[in-house]
Amino acid sequence: MLIDGTALLLNALPIALLGAILGLDMVSFPQIMIARPIVSATAAGAFVGRPAAGLLIGVVLELIALETLPFGASRYAEWGTAGAVGGAVFAAQPVGVPGALPVGMLAALATAFCSSWSMVVVRKMNARIVRTYRCAIDAGSAEAVTNIQLRCMALDFLRGFLVTLVALLIFVPLGRLLVNRWTVDAVHARAVVITVAATVAASAIWKIFHTTARAGWLFLVGLVGGGIWIALQ
């Protein structure tokens, strides 16, 4: 669907708009967690006409995103745009091709890397906007306060739009190229991707809960229960 020149750009624009909304949610407004990959990738997959494919890559990305704790000034992955790009790139591949999931994941994580950097840039630009209004703020102008807020949010929206658009324009054709040259079989390709995601998820769970007494044992109890459930199915 998302291929070739003008058609690619036209198809990418609505998803870029979606990426802008999802990217805005990460920090600026309204933080209702539509930026989490389980939501953002599913939404992008639905835009391309394959919500189930979007959910699949969203779940794998969510395993990795379990690690992301957006503490204040720390630099972390921005999953709104990343999920939108990953979901769209994966869902745009033909059904059942072996390399689609690894390539979609690579697109999503590379976008997360760029959008993480873009957030730092926007935060510095926000500081510059605040400085330009300094005199008005010191005079207690409520209008200046509102203007700063709106300008900074517009900037963040634009950041999400541009990151998603550029990432789609790169990764949709590149993804098609990589998938066409893919050599590892589907079962192993998927197993490698999911092992990587599960490794990060298990590490994240340990990092988050290891300070709580007996949490490790509770995790193991759950793991045994989950294993029995799967075995009985």
What residues from 131 to 190 belong to the interface with another protein (CB under 8 A)?
Answer: 131, 137-142, 145-146, 148-153, 156, 178, 181-184, 187, 189-190
Q: Helix, strand, or coil here: 192?
A: helix
Given the rule CB under 8 A, which of 5-13, 15-23, 160-168, 222-230 is the region that contacts another protein?
Answer: 222-230
Residue closer to another protein (CB basis): 7 or 207:
207
Pair of tokens at residue 36? 């989490």
Q: For the CB of residue 173, give the shortest distance to another protein in the complex, in Å.
A: 14
Q: For the CB of residue 36, give the shortest distance to another protein in the complex, in Å.
A: 7
Given the rule CB under 8 A, which of 7-15, 164-172, 194-202 is the region that contacts another protein?
Answer: 194-202
CB atoms near residue 58 (< 10 Å)? 28
**Per rule CB under 8 A, is residue 34 in the interface with another protein?**
yes
Which residue carries 């494919």 as its tokens?
Answer: 53
55-94 positions binding another protein, by CB under 8 A: 55-56, 59-60, 62-73, 76-77
Pair of tokens at residue 222? 């759950």
Q: DSSP class of residue 185?
A: -
**Per rule CB under 8 A, is residue 52 in the interface with another protein?**
yes
Between CA 143 and CA 140 the distance in angstroms is 9
Residue closer to another protein (CB basis): 153 or 169:
153
Residue closer to another protein (CB basis): 9 or 133:
133
With vertex at residue 114, the alpha carbon angle to CA 111 and CA 118, rounded to the nearest 5 degrees, is 130
For residue 5, give the amino acid letter: G
* Burial class, 190, CB count within 10 angstroms (exposed 0-12 / middle 13-18 / buried 19+): middle
* Burial class, 166, CB count within 10 angstroms (exposed 0-12 / middle 13-18 / buried 19+): middle
Q: How many CA atoms lie within 13 A of 104 on its CB side?
A: 35
**Per rule CB under 8 A, is residue 117 in the interface with another protein?**
no
Q: Considering only residues 23, 54, 80, 83, which one is a binding residue for another protein as defined by CB under 8 A?
A: 54
What is the contact mask toward another protein in residues 201 to 220, using x (rule: CB under 8 A)? xxxxxxxxx--x-xxx-xxx
Q: For the CB of residue 137, give the shortest distance to another protein in the complex, in Å.
A: 5
Q: Helix, strand, or coil here: 75?
A: coil
Between CA 166 and CA 63 the distance in angstroms is 25
**Per rule CB under 8 A, is residue 106 in the interface with another protein?**
yes
Helix axes 51-65, 100-132, angle to 10 degrees: 70
What is the contact mask toward another protein in residues 3 to 22, using x (rule: CB under 8 A)? --------------------
Given the rule CB under 8 A, which of 1-9, 14-22, 106-114, 159-167 is the region that contacts another protein?
Answer: 106-114
